[in-house]
Structure 1
Amino acid sequence: MIEVRVQAGDFDLGAEVARLRAGDARAGAVVTFVGTVRDMNDGAQVAGMELEHYPGMTERALEDIVEQARARWPLLGALVIHRIGPLLPRDQIVLVAVASSHRGEAFAACEFIIDYLKTDAPFWKKEATPDGGRWVDARDSDDTAKAKWAAR
C-alpha cells in the first residue's frame, strides 16, 4: 500500500497503522512519525495554526517524495497524511508511516520522507500569536536535515 492524503479532518493513528500492516505479511517493521501543533514556537505562544496548500501540486510533491524513498529502500508500504485548515495546539498535523521487512530501512525511509516533506512539499503555515498572525518561514535546520541524504 502506497498512499498520500491531504485532508482537513483528523486521522486515527492506530487504524492507519493497522491498515498499513495489513497490506503485506512480509512487513517486519512499521515506523511512524506524527507531527503535532506546539503551543510555543520561536519564543512566542501559539494559539493555533492555519495550514494552506496548493491542491494537486501538493499531492504530487508528496507522491514524488515517497517514490524517492521507494527508490532508496525496499519498502512494502508507505502512508503520508497531511492535514490542512485550522489546527490547535496538540492537534495532529502529519503522519508518515513506513513498512519494510527490516527496521533499518523503515526508520531511514520514514526520516527521509519527513525531512523532504518539510522542505519540498508546498504547504504554508500561519500561526496565531499574541502579537497577531505570522507566517512560519522555512528553517535552516530543515534544509540541513534534507542535505544529509544527498551525502548518503
Structure 2
Amino acid sequence: MNVISLLGKKFTVFISAVLAAYLLASATATQHVANALVSMGIELGAGDRLAMTLKDLLGMATSLLPMIAMGLLIAFVVVALLMRWPLRGRLRWRLALYLLAGFTALIAIHVLMNLTLGLTPVAIARTPLGLVLQGLAGAMGGFVYARLGDALFPVSPFAIDP
C-alpha cells in the first residue's frame, strides 16, 4: 500500500467519524429545541421535526462541524500516540480509548467555549443531560473511527496506528 492510498483511507475513516458525531450532535440538539417548542404548546409533527433537523444539519455545518472535526482530530491523535506505548494487551483498549476520546472531545468543545467565550454552541449543552448526549455523539464518532480503522487497517504497514 502506498502512502497516498494509506492517507486517503485514513482521511476517509476520519471524515466518516466526524460526520457520524456531527449528525448525532446536531440531531440531538435539534430535537432538544423541538421538545422545548412542544412544551410551549407549539404542535410539531414528524415532518416538522425532520425538516428542522435537516435545516440544522446544513445550518450548523459552518460552525459545529469544524469544531467537531478539530476536537476529534486532537483526541484521536492523542489516542494514536497512547497506542504506541509499549504495554502488553494495549490493542484490547483501542475501542474504549477511541470512545472515551470522542466523548471527551465533544464535552471539551462545549465546556471550553463556555469558559472562554461565555457561550454554548448548541442549547442542549446547557444542561448536564444534554452535555452527556453531546458527549455520546462524540463517542459514536470514536466508535466509527475505531471500527472502520480496524476493518481497513488490521495491521498498519507504516506503524501510524496499531
Asked if TM exceeds 0.5, the reply is no
Q: Which has the higher helix share?
A: 2
Structure index of larger Rg: 2
Q: TM-score, normalised by structure 1?
A: 0.35
Q: Which has the higher strand share?
A: 1
